Amino acid sequence: MAENEDGQERSEDPSGKKIEEARKKGQIARSRELGSVAVMIFGAIGLLMFGSMLIQAGEEVFRINFQVSADDLQDPDVAMHRLLESGWVALTALVPLFIVLVVAAIGIAPLVGGFNFSMQAVQPKLSKLNPLAGLKKMFSVQSLVELGKSIAKFLLVSVATIFILDMNRDRFLALGFQEPDMAMAEGISIVIWAFFYLCCTLLLIAAVDVPFQLYQYKKQLMMTKQEVRDEYKETEGKPEIKSKIRSKQKEIAYSRMMSAVPKADVVITNPTHFAVALKYDPNSMAAPILVAKGADFIAEQIKKVALANDVLILNSPPLARSIYYHTEIDRQIPHGLYVAVAQVLAYVFQLKRFQQGKGPNPGVLPDVKLPDSMKRD
């Protein structure tokens, strides 16, 4: 395992924050071999696709510039006109090839590391002019790998060139017995295909370089246990700050919960320990919703707010305990409590109608039956 300047072992994988900071500095995994090989292979493909167009353009440029009369040689305007015409013909023929090369350069190279632009990477740094740092890089593992890749590329290209020349030996010898036009077309075809095959051999180098660059990039960003702890503290905050944040969040949640009690339809209590406030609107709710709940001191506060706002308070200890333990605030009650809560709400609505003089007195709240799975002691 690598070690940092303090001698601590870098044994931890880089965090998302560490990777993001590295990208901002321009540090990304990138394989130059993949990019260069892709451009060369696509360039060879472009030559195979547009080679005839380039040959025709070359012939046209020769025709424009070598079929000249004596009078044309004396006229500067004609020479300029022929130069511009030649340039336009050449440019028109080269544009498709340029497009292929640009697509390869932009589309293939970012496959490793993705697209990234960093202003910090282009800023001048005096440390880059340090000769000692330069010497250190010359004898680093990265430099040895680059040297190995260069030697491997030389050997691959050499062996591939010998192999290609041997395969096309008869075709080369036959060029001397062909008509000039046919010999030129055949020779260009051999050269382009040879270039394509040579580029393909370099894929072996890219296939080795890509995993190595990914490994090297991850290795450079590895973290020590202390760095992980420091980053966690920086990201999550110090324990005392986190405690204050949690305390403030509880205060906000408590205040919001208490403000919902006046809008409840009923508060169900276990007189000394629990209180839960329910609200139900049949036009907008599929089931009753728990808007507030609390135990001990908070339960007493819920009851005080309910009394101050004329919210009906009913005593049903088993149901109060069950709702308290099985339902979260601002959530619907569970299916197992539908029947029991419906019984309570029906009583509440009948009592309200009685108080308004619109119905009979429902009397005392009947015993509420709970499923065994919903009971809590």
Nearest CA to 258 out of 244, 270, 275, 271 is that of: 275
41: in domain: yes
Give the per-residue pLDDT at 88. Answer: 92
Q: How many residues appear in the chain?
A: 377
Same domain, 215 and 344: no
239: in domain: no
**Domain of 198?**
16-233
**Both structure tokens of 295:** 């135990």
Instruction: Please write the tens of the pLDDT for every residue from 290-312.
Output: 989 988 888 899 899 988 988 88
User: What mean pLDDT comes out for the span 140-159?
Assistant: 82
- Best-predicted range by mean pLDDT (3-7, 158-162, 212-216, 237-241): 158-162
Nearest CA to 255 out of 209, 287, 213, 301 is that of: 301
Report the mean per-residue pLDDT for the chain: 81
Is the pLDDT confidence value at 282 over 60?
yes
Same domain, 132 and 217: yes
Name the phi and psi angles at 59, rounded to 5: -65, -40
Same domain, 336 and 223: no
Same domain, 176 and 264: no
**Both structure tokens of 307:** 């009394």
Same domain, 193 and 290: no
Confidence of residue 3 (pLDDT cuts 50, 70, 90): low
Give the per-residue pLDDT at 375. Answer: 81
Same domain, 224 and 178: yes
Domain-ending residue, one of 192, 217, 233: 233
Same domain, 31 and 63: yes
User: What mean pLDDT comes out for the span 94-122?
Assistant: 75
Confidence of residue 172 (pLDDT cuts 50, 70, 90): confident
Same domain, 293 and 226: no
pTM of the model: 0.48
Same domain, 211 and 266: no
80: in domain: yes
The answer to whether the CB of 330 falls within 8 A of the CB of 290 is: yes
Domain-ending residue, one of 233, 268, 285: 233
Is the pLDDT confidence value at 121 over 60?
no
User: What mean pLDDT comes out for the span 108-127?
Assistant: 63
4: in domain: no
Tally of CB atoms within 10 A around 248: 10
User: What mean pLDDT comes out for the span 182-204?
Assistant: 85
Domain CATH number, residue 346: 3.40.1690.10
Same domain, 51 and 157: yes
248: in domain: no
For residues 220-243, one letter each, b for 16 or more C-beta atoms within 10 angstroms of the residue's C-beta and e for the rest, the string is ebbbbeebbeebeeeeeeeeeeee
Is the pLDDT confidence value at 120 over 70?
no
11: in domain: no
7: in domain: no
Composition of the chain by helix, strand, coil, percent to 5:
70, 5, 25
Is the pLDDT confidence value at 286 over 60?
yes
Confidence of residue 115 (pLDDT cuts 50, 70, 90): low
Domain count, the chain: 2
User: What mean pLDDT comes out for the span 72-96?
Assistant: 84
Give the per-residue pLDDT at 31. Answer: 78
- Token match 């030996």: residue? 169
238: in domain: no
Is the pLDDT confidence value at 235 over 80?
no
CA distance 341 to 347: 10
Name the phi and psi angles at 94, rounded to 5: -85, -20
Same domain, 279 and 211: no
Is the pLDDT confidence value at 265 over 80?
yes
- Rounded to 10 degrees, the C-alpha dihedral 5/11/16/20 comes to 30
**Both structure tokens of 54:** 């380039």
Same domain, 294 and 344: yes
